[in-house]
Amino acid sequence: MASESSFDVVSKLDRQEVDNAVNQCAKEIAQRYDFRGVDASVSLAGDTITMEANTAERVLAILDVLESKLFRRGVSLKALDLGDKEPRPQGKLYRLVCPLKEGLSQEVAKQITKAIRDEGPKGVKATIQGDEVRVSSKSRDDLQSVIALLKELEVEAALQFVNYR
């Protein structure tokens, strides 16, 4: 009898890369001419990135710089929970708070398992285990086709495939 092969679908962040991207963004903001005198800042505290400036347009410019730094470091932009992407006035400063998303929500996990059930090869099982999805099958080729299917799937999370065995 053939043994089962499996892999896990997760959504995890590399915290060090996020921290490095925020630090690079802060350094670029401090040096750029168009950010002089606008009280611009970006900071990472726990699971939240906070951007501040004296106008809403400058806050969105900081967000653009941050997104480019995250992208260059290989961090998916789906990890930022931007909400309505509208800076809020806080006294004289405008502030945009972006929580970081990590782990698969129940809705995303259900969407993944439904896609595997509907469009994936027969004989592939997908089970939700907390904030990850375990996909198993007797055929490794079927698992490879499921990975290709999930890479094409539009979900609200950055997907990684780990523990392939």
Q: List the domain boundaries for the chain.
A: 5-12+103-162, 15-99
Question: What pTM, to 2 d.p., does this model score?
Answer: 0.81
3-state helix, strand, coil in the chain (%, to 5): 40, 25, 35
pLDDT under 50: residue ranges of the chain = 1
Characterize the bridge pairing of strands 132-137 and 5-10.
antiparallel
For 1, 107, 144, 148, 153, the CA distances from 6, given in Å and listed in that order, are: 16, 22, 10, 15, 19
Fold equal for 5-12+103-162 and 15-99: yes
Radius of gyration of the chain (CA): 20
pLDDT, the chain, mean? 87
Q: What is the pLDDT of residue 62?
A: 92
> What is the Cα–Cα distance from 158 to 77, expressed in whole angstroms?
8
**Multiple choice CATH, 5-12+103-162, 3.40.50.700, 3.90.1150.50, 3.50.50.60, 3.30.70.860:** 3.30.70.860
- The topology under which CATH files domain 15-99 is Alpha-Beta Plaits (3.30.70)
Q: What is the pLDDT of residue 2?
A: 54
Helix H or strand E encompassing 52: strand 48-53
CB of 105 closer than 8 Å to CB of 157:
yes
Q: What is the pLDDT of residue 1?
A: 39
Q: What is the pLDDT of residue 55?
A: 87
Q: What is the pLDDT of residue 101?
A: 87
- Tell which residue, 156, 112, 153, has the closest CA to residue 134: 112
> What is the Cα–Cα distance from 44 to 84, expressed in whole angstroms?
20
Characterize the bridge pairing of strands 125-129 and 132-137.
antiparallel
Q: What is the pLDDT of residue 131?
A: 86
